Structure 1
Amino acid sequence: MERLLLTLLVFACFLLGLWAMRRSWRRRARSQSAQLPPFPQTPAEPGEELLPANKGLYVSTTTAGDWQDRIVTRGVGLRGRAVLRLYRAGVEIDRAGAPGFFIPRESIVEVKRASGIAGKVMGTNSLIVITWRLGDKELDTGFRGDDLDVYPQWIESLSEREIKGEAQ
């Protein structure tokens, strides 16, 4: 009988912890919904793809410079399989089973390789991180591509020089 009560107590503590995490996640999402405007959607006619689609893993979006401050509002807090597509107008993040979003080219501040962002830490610089503006906030969006050899092309294509139209 003593063992059964101890097992039930541990199970109840586990369920209480799950409930508290879910409640905290939802409260954070509500708070961020009030602070951030809606994420841009892919235009109906985005134009031709400038680079081949980059398949991989959408990791997360965080507040720029704070790689642990995950943005969870509007479904962008969950990682999952995704495809990155580059158009002249910007970058589409097409997520499997979750709402995708679009990063307009004029909103992009910086593109770099990184070793970590909320939800994924790697020993090497195997993440591509796009720093961009959404309203008055700067965000970092992390993506881990299946083919790391294409990262230099992506970074070059989204470089500051090309964003301003000085070179194409």
Structure 2
Amino acid sequence: MERLIPGLLVTALAVLILLAMVWAWRGRRRRQSAFAAPAEVPAVEARGAELARASVLYVATTKAGEPLERLTIPGLAFRARGEAAVYERGVLISLPGEPETFVPRDAVRSIGTSTWAIDRVVETGGLVRLDWTYPSTDGPAEVESYLRATELGDARRLIDAANSIIPQQEGTSS
């Protein structure tokens, strides 16, 4: 009996913490309802030739310039192992158990490296940062997706391939 009451208190505290986490996540999703519509993924043949593919650790997608504000975009809400592929017509991020996310080439603003995002800090340039425009219901939103390539050299291949498909801005030369 002397262990029952502390055991019940610890269990009740754990349940309250889990309920608070669920409540906070639902609140985040409600506040970010403009990001709720999943992007349409084109058929494989409509993506063009595959330029690069790599196994990655997906870290997060955040609003541009706000690397501590995780977005709840379908397919990109949770950290996971997955794959990133660059095609002639865009970039595909595939995470197990989540809908695939296809970023059309016209939506890609830039690609580069980063050292940290949300709660992940790595060596200098250890994260691949994909800057793109998400078609939210509130209008186009500039976002950043962070990936960590799991094999040596894959980050550079993804960056080089994505840079080759980014539309050139008017007034710039190649």
Q: Distance in 2 between matches of 1:130 and 1:155?
A: 9
Shift, 1:59, TM fit:
1.6
Shift, 1:74, TM fit:
2.4
Secondary structure of the 2:156 match is: helix
Q: Distance in 1 between matches of 2:28 and 2:82?
A: 24
Written as runs of structure 1 = structure 2, the 5 A alignment for 1:13-24 is: 13-24=13-24
Which TM-score applies when normalising by structure 1? 0.85
List runs of 5+ in structure 1 lacking aligned partners. none
**Percent identity (aligned):** 31
Secondary structure of the 1:12 match is: helix
List runs of 5+ in structure 2 lacking aligned partners. none
RMSD over aligned CA atoms reads 2.3
Alignment length (residue pairs): 165
Matching residue within 126, 129, 141 for 2:145: 141
Task: Deviation per CA, 1:24-71: give whole Å up to 9, x if none.
Answer: 1022113212x23624232112111022x1112122111111111001
Matched with 2:126 is: 126
Matched with 1:38 is: 37
More strand by share: 2
Matched with 2:88 is: 88
Shift, 1:81, TM fit:
1.8
Matched with 1:164 is: 168
Contact 2:63-2:143 within 8 A present in 1 as well: yes
Contact 1:39-1:134 within 8 A present in 2 as well: no
Shift, 1:105, TM fit:
1.1
Q: Distance in 2 between matches of 1:153 and 1:32?
A: 33
Task: Deviation per CA, 1:117-160: give whole Å up to 9, x if none.
Answer: 23522234221010111132111111111124132333233338
Following superposition, which runs of at least 4 residues in structure 1 exceed 4 angstroms of deviation? none
Cα 1:81–1:23, aligned 2, differ >3 Å: closer, same or farther? same
Q: Distance in 2 between matches of 1:2 and 1:110?
A: 62
Matched with 1:64 is: 64
Task: Deviation per CA, 1:13-34: give whole Å up to 9, x if none.
Answer: 121011011111022113212x
Contact 1:56-1:144 within 8 A present in 2 as well: yes
